Chains A and B, each alone.
Chain A
Amino acid sequence: MSNTQGQATFFNLTITLNDKDVPVFTYTNLDGTDVCGNVVVNQYSTISYQLIDKTGKGLKFVGAAFTTPFDKIIDAITISSDGTLIQLTDLDETPGNTGFQFVLSNTCNSLQMLSPDPQIVNHPNH
């Protein structure tokens, strides 16, 4: 789990299919080192995930979904027009943990793909 002091955190999210066609999610830093994708936030932050689709299924981000989207741990979600970059805005005003799952569309069928859940932890400094 990386400890974020600055305003921006960036991950690459690579999705592949294993030999049984089951999607596999891998998070890496910009330098390519593996991370789990979880984040601890101490101040206002944006957390960005760049999609690297190696499934051949035409994946695109359509959102980030929460079982508790109204708890204000994460305040807003924005997605690039081409669906390859998703950004979570965290004002860090509400302490607590939140789990979420990325939602991705594909070009092969009308079902949407859910990631296993990365986690955001808000630890306000004040």
Chain B
Amino acid sequence: MKRSISRVFAAILCASSMISQAATQQEIDLALAPVKNNAQLQVILSDASALDALEDNLPLFLNSVTYTQQGAHDGIHFDQSVLEDNLTVTEIYKILALFGQQTNIAQYQGAEVVNDTDRLLLDISTSALPYCEAASPIDLSVIMDSSKQALFSYAQNNVACDGNVELTENTTITYQLVNTAESPQGLRLTGAGFANPFDAHIETVTVSEDGQAIYLQNNIQNTGVSKFQFIFASDENTLLLLSPDPQVINRPEN
């Protein structure tokens, strides 16, 4: 019992530290980004840059770029699939760095991996991601790589998170599926699987009728870590797909 409590405590300390570190790094990256608006992008395009790796797909990428005012700088959005489908992880990282978005590299799990740097970027980015927030829906993306392996990523408001959630009160956590051309055909959620579904950390699981969203309700009175795996059906075959395990941590506020 003592061991169980200390493990939960360690997870909480670690989570708080990771969230603040990741947020700070994102702020630094954005502040130092060479491209914060369209004028700066045009300057970058007038010379050799990381964008040259896109070759013939550069116009497609540029056409997808949009700007929205967010405080002191523009929020810049673009079609991730143009990068993911055509470039290596390192090439994408260099382009994201132009926009101060390199911490989002974990969202490019389907990008080509050709060397140790590519692998390192994906490993580090995935392990250093912040927890997701329970307050807003968590986008869950599943794509298949060239060897038909399913790759999972999580994001909120286009910012990558690790899929885990830490809770201090009774909440409904929403995960919504974001299917793309790279997703398994007809992918839909069927439930959430637990090694022990009777420990009551999570009390209710509901799946939307179309299988595109899943809702988990916790019971904060049951302190501890609940690990689960999402379960998916698809039109590819009769087998179910399992995600790696996100986890929900119940930490009541005293």
Binding site for B on A (CB under 8 A): 17, 21-23, 57, 62-71, 74-78, 100-101, 103, 106, 108-114, 116
The interface size bin for chain B is 20 to 34
Q: A111 contacts which chain B residues (CB < 8 A)?
A: 191-194, 197, 202, 204-205, 228
B169 at the interface (CB under 8 A from A): no
Q: What's the nearest-Cβ distance from chain A to residue B221, in Å?
A: 16
Q: Mark B188-200, 1 if CB is under 8 A from A, else 0.
A: 0011111111110
Q: What's the nearest-Cβ distance from chain B to residue A102, in Å?
A: 9
**Bound form: Cα–Cα A47–B43 in Å:** 63
**Bound form: Cα–Cα A66–B236 in Å:** 13
Name the contact of A64 in the complex, choosing from B190, B192, B240, B244 (C-beta under 8 A).
B240
> What is the chain A residue whose CB lies nearest that of B236?
A70
Q: What's the nearest-Cβ distance from chain B to residue A112, in Å?
A: 4
Q: A63-B190, A63-B233, A69-B237 are in contact. List 19 more A-B contacts (CB 8 A).
A: A21-B198, A23-B195, A23-B198, A64-B239, A66-B240, A66-B241, A67-B242, A68-B149, A69-B234, A69-B240, A70-B237, A103-B193, A103-B240, A108-B198, A110-B205, A111-B192, A111-B193, A112-B197, A112-B205
Interface centre among B184, B195, B197, B204 (most CB of A within 10 A): B197
B231→A110 contact, CB < 8 A:
no
B240→A63 contact, CB < 8 A:
yes
Name the contact of A66 in the complex, choosing from B195, B228, B242, B244 (C-beta under 8 A).
B242
Name the contact of B206 in the complex, choosing from A22, A57, A77, A110 (C-beta under 8 A).
A110
**Bound form: Cα–Cα A106–B199 in Å:** 14
Q: A108 contacts which chain B residues (CB < 8 A)?
A: 198
Name the contact of B238 in the complex, choosing from A57, A67, A71, A77 (C-beta under 8 A).
A77
Q: What's the nearest-Cβ distance from chain A to residue B230, in Å?
A: 10
**Bound form: Cα–Cα A62–B148 in Å:** 24
> What is the chain A residue whose CB lies nearest that of B191?
A112
A113→B194 contact, CB < 8 A:
yes
> What is the chain A residue whose CB lies nearest that of B195?
A114
A70→B184 contact, CB < 8 A:
yes
Interface centre among A68, A71, A76, A111 (most CB of B within 10 A): A111
Q: A113 contacts which chain B residues (CB < 8 A)?
A: 193-197
**Bound form: Cα–Cα A45–B228 in Å:** 31
B79 at the interface (CB under 8 A from A): no
> What is the chain A residue whose CB lies nearest that of B230?
A65
> What is the chain A residue whose CB lies nearest that of B201?
A111
A101→B242 contact, CB < 8 A:
yes
**Bound form: Cα–Cα A29–B197 in Å:** 27
Interface centre among A21, A65, A116 (most CB of B within 10 A): A65
Name the contact of A106 in the complex, choosing from B184, B197, B233, B241 (C-beta under 8 A).
B197
Q: What's the nearest-Cβ distance from chain A to residue B169, in Å?
A: 20
B229 at the interface (CB under 8 A from A): yes
> What is the chain B residue whose CB lies nearest that of A23?
B196
B150→A67 contact, CB < 8 A:
yes
Q: What's the nearest-Cβ distance from chain A to residue B211, in Å?
A: 14
Q: Mark B218-254, 1 if CB is under 8 A from A, else 0.
A: 0000000000110101101111111010000000000
Q: Mark B119-142, 1 if CB is under 8 A from A, else 0.
A: 000000000000000000000000
Q: What's the nearest-Cβ distance from chain A to residue B247, in Å?
A: 14
A70→B194 contact, CB < 8 A:
no
**Bound form: Cα–Cα A110–B198 in Å:** 10
